[in-house]
Amino acid sequence: MTLFSSLDSLVFLIYFVVVAGYGLWVYRRKKSTAGSSASHEYFLAEGSLSWWAIGASLIASNISAEQFIGMSGSGFRIGMAIAVYELMAAVTLVIVAVFFMPVYLKNHIYTMPQFLEQRYGKAVATTMALFWLGLYVVVNLTSILYLGALAIGSIAGLGVLPCMLFLAVFAAVITLGGMKVIGYTDVIQVTCLVVGGLVTTWIALELVARIGGDSGALCGAAILFDNARDHFNMFLPRNDPNYMDLPGLSTLIGGMWIVNLNYWGCNQYITQRALGADLPTARKGLLFAAFLKLLMPVIIVLPGIAAFALDKSGALGEAMRPGGELNPDRAYPTLLALLPPGLKGVAFAALTAAVVASLAGKANSIATIFTLDIYKKTFNQGASELRMVWIGRVTVVVALLLAVVIAPLLGIDKKGGFQYIQEYTGFVSPGILAMFLLGFFWKRTTPAAAMFATVGGLVFSIVLKFLPQMTNLAFLAPYGFAVDNGHGVYEMPFLDRMFIVFWVVIAGMVLLSTLGARGNALRTLHVESKLFHVDGAFAFGSAVVCLLVGAIYGVWW
């Protein structure tokens, strides 16, 4: 039985028509003002996106069902500590704007494999291009599509396959118009995301207020803080059952930096939004995204904590226990089901906007890497601009079709939520980040060292993941690097594992580069200190972001 009313359907239809119509208008306007659909215009919207469109597109592409369902579920299970991903991301965006973006733009970098080829040679670039294509299609695109379909299907009372097809077609329509269409429709998407998310949070807090016989969202927030005080601890003690996911203070000084710097600074899916702009515009866009990131704990994590308090009071009945077993990932869909008619349509549009924007951004990144780094360089070096745009559009359709076909076969819904995705992405993050950082800032880094980072980072991560099954790591427990998983086996939290692997890879790269032939290290980028200078307005905005994050941790330490 559908949970939607006629009013909800009307609200969602209006959202769909506005996004699709605006995307079509942007596409036609782009065609009328350009002599031809150049590849850089299609893939990067070169010079076309304003700072606010870049910032909105970054957030719209980043926030998906993974956050709304998985992170909200982690809020139910762990609490506000899980918001470290969002709060650290705000600071990371400032770092990327200051140190990463100037290097990319000064050296005319348009794709991450292009950077690797320019710095390390074709072998490393091709290896990583193929790796990224496989990762984006088989892991990211499929998980976004399938989890998104599950989420909207459970709310609208529809099957998973029809929802997958709808999301794929909707995303394809937006993506086929190119990055400019994606960027500007993402402004609408992120507006829906923020408004719908805030509405859901407000209603959730209103429901919490009723627990104490009161009313109003502000009263609800006060009651929530009292009734779920332990869910507002920003750091988990070592005896907390969720310590393996968020290992105390090392979330701020350890592996979380690897997660965020790799995701926001070395990821085609993210950096692509800013690579077609000039440096001041790109920096303003990243700073705007940092401020939007500060809203995400309120929009995503707080509803999960509210669902915890409501469930604890018995107000949700058995909604969180389908089949009799508690499922934290049900937190957000359960709250949406409680919204009144009309508002449910707004929240549903927000969730759909998050999924579609992420799908469109990921599909465009897949098309960009395949067309510019595989097709043009390997199969057709003389390809015309229009030919490359056509190949990019075909790639979008093929990638989305593959995702629709293989997503149901992967058992994505049975493998856990947000934390699982973060852990297994972390198998490759340390090596990739090490390769980029040394490539930026150490001229002697060799191609052999970069290849070591690619393979060695993965190998070391796998070894440390399965080491506890071969030997007892209890001797590391006094130092905080191993925790009893409840079965007498001492495991290493995955964030700590990433931090250790990163420094092992760095050491290996330095050693290989030092011992290797210097002639192999002559591929360098244009990097000089003046690239990292920022204007006063950007410096002020960055300081505000950092102070706000510091204040949050200071209050809820």
**Which tens digit of pLDDT belongs to each residue from 508-525?**
999 999 887 654 445 667
Write the class of the CATH domain 49-410+419-425+527-555.
mainly alpha
Query: Which class for 237: exposed (0-12), middle (13-18), buried (19 or more C-beta within 10 A)?
Result: exposed
Secondary structure element (H or E) that encloses residue 310, with its range: helix 302-313
Contact call for residues 311 and 321 (beta carbons, < 8 A): no
d(CA 444, CA 504): 18
Q: Please give the pLDDT value at position 282.
A: 92
Cα–chain-centroid distance for residue 414?
Answer: 20
Residue 461 to residue 522: CA distance in whole angstroms: 30
- For tokens 């939520």, what's the residue? 417
Residue 159's CB is within 10 A of a number of other CB atoms, namely 11
Compute CA distances 107 → 294, 330, 346, 376, 449, whole Å.
31, 46, 43, 20, 21
Beta bridge partners of 490: 484
User: Can you give the pLDDT at residue 368?
Assistant: 87
pLDDT at 537: 94
Q: What is the 3-state secondary structure (H, E, C) of 318-372?
A: CCCCHHHCCCHHHHHHHHHHHCCCCHHHHHHHHHHHHHHHHHHHHHHHHHHHHHH
In this structure, what token pair is assigned to residue 339? 């919204």
374 sits in which H/E element:
none
As given in the structure block, the two tokens for residue 542 are 């960055």
Residues of the chain whose pLDDT is less than 50?
1-2, 35-37, 416-417, 519-521
How far is the C-alpha of 446 from the C-alpha of 448, rounded, in Å?
Answer: 5
Query: 285: buried, middle or exposed (CB in 10 Å: 19+, 13-18, 0-12)?
Result: buried
Domain-by-domain residue ranges, the chain? 49-410+419-425+527-555
